[in-house]
Amino acid sequence: EAGVVQSPRYKIIEKKQPVAFWCNPISGHNTLYWYRQNLGQGPELLIRYENEEAVDDSQLPKDRFSAERLKGVDSTLKIQPAELGDSAVYLCASSLGGGDTQYFGPGTRLTVL
Amino acid sequence: AQSVTQLDSQVPVFEEAPVELRCNYSSSVSVYLFWYVQYPNQGLQLLLKYLSGSTLVKGINGFEAEFNKSQTSFHLRKPSVHISDTAEYFCAVIPIAGGTSYGKLTFGQGTILTVHP
């Protein structure tokens, strides 16, 4: 069974530029999560989707971050414009349901110069 | 809300020695507990989880953890470590049901395990 797929794996951009990350969850998983992991810390939830609906986006900085999950499968996380403090690893995870075990993708390491 | 404290940021140990990585949590509701491992430049891999039943849980790669409800702890152990166990380990909890935190994994800060030859 294929795991959670993310792309790109690495991204280097200059501040104020836009950037987008893509995630394909495990087949059949209705719940999708985006986490941000700063250096030396554990991941922190940015947004959680149940199918197409964002049910928890309280930690998403909405002035510059946006996310979508069209058709309830793939998801895209966007930052526009990026700031130096956005440098981090962005992890996507999926689970069968909201309380079920979450499986993580390899992450996208973002460096903002 | 939930919080997780991993009591050691770094644990150095020699190969074939036993190791224990400590985790304490705080929550006003019942939780499920997890340990994940992260190898350099990779995502998180599930090591083991406690949902219910026996408080001693066995996971992959010879790891096990014991849930202690009275001490709100979920320490990870391995009787004999290998060089390949060198990685960062994260303890995490998730509320069992309901409330605004449902579905939200809360992680500790991580413990870097370094196994020396």
Q: Cβ contacts of residue B38 below 8 Å, gap of 6+?
A: B44, B45, B87, B88, B89, B90, B110
> Would you tell me which residues 47-106 of chain A have a C-beta closer than 8 angstroms to some C-beta of chain B?
48, 55-56, 58, 91, 93, 98-99, 101-106
Cα separation, B6 vs B37, whole angstroms = 14
Q: Which of A40, A56, A106 sits opposite B104 (nearest CB)?
A: A56
Kindly report, residue by residue over A68-98, the tens digit of the pLDDT: 998 889 999 999 999 999 999 999 999 988 7
Nearest CA in chain B to A6: B43
Give me the percent of chain A exceeding a pLDDT of 70: 99
Judge whether A12 is closer than 8 Å to chain B, CB to CB.
Answer: no
User: Closest by alpha carbon to B35, among B26, B48, B45, B25?
Assistant: B48
Q: Which residues of chain A have pLDDT under 50?
A: none
Cα separation, A47 vs A28, whole angstroms = 19
Nearest CA in chain B to A100: B103
Q: Mean pLDDT over residues B85-103, rounded?
A: 82
